[in-house]
Amino acid sequence: MASCSGCGPGYRSPLDAMKGPREEIVYLPCIYRNTNTLKPDYLATVDVDPKSSTYCQVIHRLPMPNLCDELHHSGWNACSSCFGDASRKRNRLILPSLISSRIYVVDVETNPRAPQIHKIVEPVDLFWKCGLANPHTTHCLGNGQVMISCLGDPSGNGKGGFVLLDGQTFDVVGNWEHPGEAAPFGYDFWYQPRHNVMISTEWGAPKALANGFDPADVAGGHYGSCLHVWNWDTHRKLQTIDLGKDGGIPLEVRFLHDPSATEGYVGCALSGSVFRFYKTLEGDWAAESVISIPSKKVEGWTLPEMPGLITDILISLDDRFLYFSNWLHGDVRQYDITDRRKPRLVGQLFLGGSIVSDGPVKVLQDREKQPDPRIIQGRRVPGGPQMLQLSLDGLRLYVTTSLYSGWDKQFYPDMIKEGSVMMQIDVDSVNGGLSLNENFLVDFGKEPDGPVLAHEVRYPGGDCTSDIWL
């Protein structure tokens, strides 16, 4: 591998990736479930090249052949973990369906600007071969397989297991975890082979979260608050770290990109906290809260206190900046994490949210004034900032506003009617700082079949939330 120069997919190192080409197109799953349109979800290809005549436009739509899949997150058949293997190519995008449990394998090689379905893995294969359902996060593995985390079992109960797909045929191979060792809940995961470790997170039981959020389900034990530490080689669960009341619903987990690093961060939605997890001197793993976003005392909302609801986090490829979105409060934040234990806020930008100054919610006690609604090119931003994707060079941050259709419908009903948007933030990667690019807007309220909910952003050449280095 050391003598290999660009022979496999991805990049030799995270710092090499930062020198990669500028993104020209991106892929986004677009969801119709829970909207007023009975149409299949689709994969949108969006032109993000400012030199192009179709800049900020959807240039292709690949509809799925089924209804109500709830496309959500996507991943690759190969990434930088396969850099040393000349036989591997990043040519298939893996699209799991959060609700139907169907997995679509999309050919992005034949025509990257107009992808086509290559294969469909039906839910029955997950149910019968793995006892799992509700697939979420996809990562390729260095051995050629593809691994997908799952939220539950076929009955809608929480079950944090992992499905393995053959990297060539995309047939279901079986479970990654050993029988009886699945976590109580599942969601995201990230592995770090140099330290023989994988860490997974928890959302909640699919039957609890399927159609909205009920606080009683938290009290009833249907949502998670733990990190799970796994032995990467043996697939054994080694440790469970309970984050407690300050770690409710830990979602996106990110190791530092440096493959020798023994630490990373996880965003906890319900508690508005970011925890740093790390390997101790004794060799086990621990976690500490390093960022806390206080809930706001409000009136005119469902509850007397509104959490920020941290729903997505990512780390720049040079491991210098941490970004996350507060979906309910409506702001995107940038932290300098040079001091890993003491993140320093260096950028903040409000893009919609539930506490806008002309909305029904009044903040009763807060040092921050309620932000004005964000209007771009005459379009009021619906919902709040949610999924994030950073350009390889760290200069552009893409933001979409849909979280998950069941929760969108509950918290931002206007977005169901008007569709979501994609925005772009210009990043000061030297001193820190965020500013909105007023010339960039992708309005998914204007789609041919009606407003749609656009979710996660993926670059064809890989990005900082999909590539892992060995």
Tens of pLDDT, residues 172-201: 999 999 999 999 999 999 999 999 999 999
* pLDDT of 1: 32
The residue with tokens 């209007």 is 375
Q: What is the mean pLDDT of residues 387-414?
A: 97
Give CA–CA dist 1/228, Å, rounded: 30
* pLDDT of 84: 85
DSSP state of 375: E
Are the beta carbons of 313 and 265 closer than 8 angstroms? yes
Parallel, antiparallel, or unpaired: how do β-strands 453-454 and 273-279 relate? unpaired
* pLDDT of 4: 46
* pLDDT of 463: 95
Whether 14 has a pLDDT exceeding 50, the answer reads yes
Supply the Cα-derived Rg of the chain in whole angstroms.
20
> Does 81 or 278 have the greater pLDDT score?
278
Q: What is the mean pLDDT of residues 287-304?
A: 96
Looking at domain 14-454, its CATH class is mainly beta
Q: What is the mean pLDDT of residues 35-42?
A: 96
> Does 7 or 292 have the greater pLDDT score?
292
- What's the distance, Cα to Cα, between the start and end of the chain in Å? 10
* pLDDT of 366: 82
What letter represents residue 351's amino acid? L
Contacts of 232 (CB under 8 A, 6+ apart): 191, 192, 193, 196, 197, 198
Q: Got the DSSP string for 254-313?
A: EE-SSTT--EEEEEETTTTEEEEEEE-TTSSEEEEEEEE-PPEEEESSSSSEE---EEEE
Q: Is 216 helix (H, G, I), strand (E, B) or coil?
A: helix
Whether 328 has a pLDDT exceeding 60, the answer reads yes
For residue 336, name the pLDDT band (cuts at 50, 70, 90).
Answer: very high
Q: What is the mean pLDDT of residues 372-401?
A: 97
* pLDDT of 3: 38
* pLDDT of 368: 82
136-172 pLDDT, tens digit per residue, is 999 999 899 999 999 999 999 999 999 999 999 999 9
Whether 216 has a pLDDT exceeding 50, the answer reads yes
For residue 6, name the pLDDT band (cuts at 50, 70, 90).
Answer: low
Q: Got the DSSP string for 396-446?
A: EEEEE----HHHHHHH-HHHHHH--EEEEEEE-TTT--EEE-TT--EEGGG
Contacts of 159 (CB under 8 A, 6+ apart): 131, 132, 150, 151, 152, 153, 182, 183, 184, 185, 186
Q: What is the mean pLDDT of residues 36-44?
A: 96
* pLDDT of 211: 80
Q: How many residues are present in the chain?
A: 470
For residue 8, name the pLDDT band (cuts at 50, 70, 90).
Answer: confident
DSSP state of 71: B
Average pLDDT for the chain: 95
88-105 pLDDT, tens digit per residue, is 999 999 999 999 999 999
Percent of the chain with pLDDT strictly greater than 90: 91
Whether 18 has a pLDDT exceeding 60, the answer reads yes
